[in-house]
Amino acid sequence: MKRTRLIVFTALAVLVLALSALAQTDPLASWNDGSAKQAIVDFVRATTDQSSPKFVPPEERIATFDQDGTLWVEHPMYTQVMYCLERVRPLVEKKPKLKKVEPFKTVFSGNREAMAKFSMKDLEKILAATLTGMSVDEFNAAVKKWFETAKDPRWKRPYTELTYLPMQEVLSYLRTNGYKTYIVTGGGQDFVRVYSERVYGIPPEQVVGTAGATKYSYAKDGKPFLTKEPKLLLNDDNAGKPEGIHLMIGRRPYAAFGNSTGDRQMLEYTKAGDGGRLAMLVLHDDAKREYAYGPAQGLPDTKVGTFTQALYDEAKKDGWVVISMKNDWKHIFAFEQ
């Protein structure tokens, strides 16, 4: 009897210690204390505590995240645009006629200065040629292969390591509290789906992005397959984000995260719902550890991920929370630690 008691007491003591250790682990350890971190914690408490007037039933807990500039680095160029430019060479080798046709000629020449001057139409031609006209399986395999060797020029690391650790913590924290996390990106839906599960723990069916049509047909052996067509179904940016959320999810998010004017409508739509809603914007104000661009708050204006002063003012007026990378984030990347 004495021995049994001892075992029970020991087991209980271990359990209590383990539970209190669990309780003390900060799920947002890479965040500095401040209003941004507090807003996230307050939102989760208010929407998951059954006694709270803002309680949200588990099945309605939806949180949406922009990708480029919100979950990972978008500078100096979107990763997907890097992919498309690097796919031009194998494409031209397969179809040598393209070597004489712009904008492929310029890309093939490797003249970065000329590439920087590409018009929207030039880019569209490159995107159409490198993202469509092949089967879904071929496309997935090509993207997967590219990510195995491609590296960001500044950090010399695979692009998939350039995700923001504090945002990875937000994703996990929300999921632990019953939220379904979605990516809602202006980037290609099929492109992001290739790595979303591995990189963010977000399955392909929870990626909403710019999407084209596919075409069902049969191979010679009778097996059906889908071909990616150069026909746009959803331009998932600006107003296209709430429209895409309705198409793909059919529920209004309770929390939404972005970093540029392309996310404005998604955040407006999220905040316009009843009860407790969280809207947050990442401000890239850390030139040393990442990049500083805006042009909100006098930051330099760049082509990629524009955060205007008007967006900043709307955020302040409507109770969206601006995250300062410089002040709110203890660490930016997991590899820094």
Rounded Cα distance, 337 and 332, in Å: 9
Name the residue with tokens 């009860």: 275
Confirm or reject binding of residue 114 to a copy of itself (CB under 8 A): no
> Which of 89, 112, 198, 215 contacts a copy of itself by CB under 8 A?
215
Asked if 277 is part of the footprint of a copy of itself (rule: CB under 8 A), the reply reads no
State the minimum distance, in angstroms, from the CB of residue 270 to a copy of itself: 10
Query: Which of these segments, 10-18, 145-153, 231-239, 321-329, binds a copy of itself (CB under 8 A)?
Result: 231-239
Binding to a copy of itself by residue 2, rule CB under 8 A?
no
First-to-final CA distance of the chain: 49
Among 211, 296, 323, 325, binds a copy of itself (CB under 8 A): 211
Sign of CA dihedral 118, 121, 122, 124: positive
Q: Which is nearer to a copy of itself, 108 or 225 (CB)?
A: 225
Query: Nearer to a copy of itself by C-beta: 36 or 143?
Result: 143
Interface with a copy of itself, residue 135, by CB under 8 A: no
Residue 216 interacts with a copy of itself (CB under 8 A)? yes
Q: Which is nearer to a copy of itself, 90 or 275 (CB)?
A: 275
Contact predicate 182/196, CB 8 Å: no
To a copy of itself, the closest distance from the beta carbon of 192 in angstroms equals 10
- Site membership for a copy of itself, residue 230 (CB under 8 A): no
Q: Which stretch binds a copy of itself (CB under 8 A): 162-170, 225-233, 253-261, 281-289?
A: 225-233
d(CA 169, CA 166) in angstroms, rounded, equals: 5
Q: Which of 243, 286, 304, 331 binds a copy of itself (CB under 8 A)?
A: 243
Q: Which residues contact 294 (CB under 8 A, 6 or more apart)?
A: 283, 284, 285, 300, 301, 306, 307, 308, 309
CB of 319 to a copy of itself, least distance (A): 14
Closer residue to a copy of itself, CB minimum distance, 82 or 226: 226
Q: Does residue 110 touch a copy of itself according to CB under 8 A?
A: no
From candidates 214, 261, 302, 306, binder to a copy of itself by CB under 8 A: 214
Pairing of β 207-218 and β 224-234: antiparallel
Residue 127 exposure: Cα atoms within 13 Å on the Cβ side: 21
Question: Are 331 and 337 contacting, i.e. CB atoms less than 8 angstroms apart?
Answer: yes
Residues in Cβ contact with 151 at an 8 Å cutoff, skipping those fewer than 6 apart: 157, 158, 159
Regarding 169 and contact with a copy of itself (CB under 8 A), the answer is no
Distance from chain centroid for Cα 304:
15
Residue 106 or 260 with smaller CB distance to a copy of itself? 260
Residue 299 as a binder of a copy of itself (CB under 8 A): the answer is no
Residue 235 is given by DSSP the state -
Spatial CB neighbours of 190, under 8 Å, sequence gap ≥ 6: 131, 136, 139, 140, 143, 209, 211, 228
Beta bridge partners of 212: 232
Determine the Cα–Cα distance for residues 253 and 210; give it in Å rounded to an integer.
18
Q: Which residues bind a copy of itself (CB under 8 A)?
A: 1, 59, 62, 136, 180, 189-190, 193, 197, 203-205, 207, 211, 213-216, 223-226, 233-234, 239, 242-243, 246-251, 265, 268-269, 272
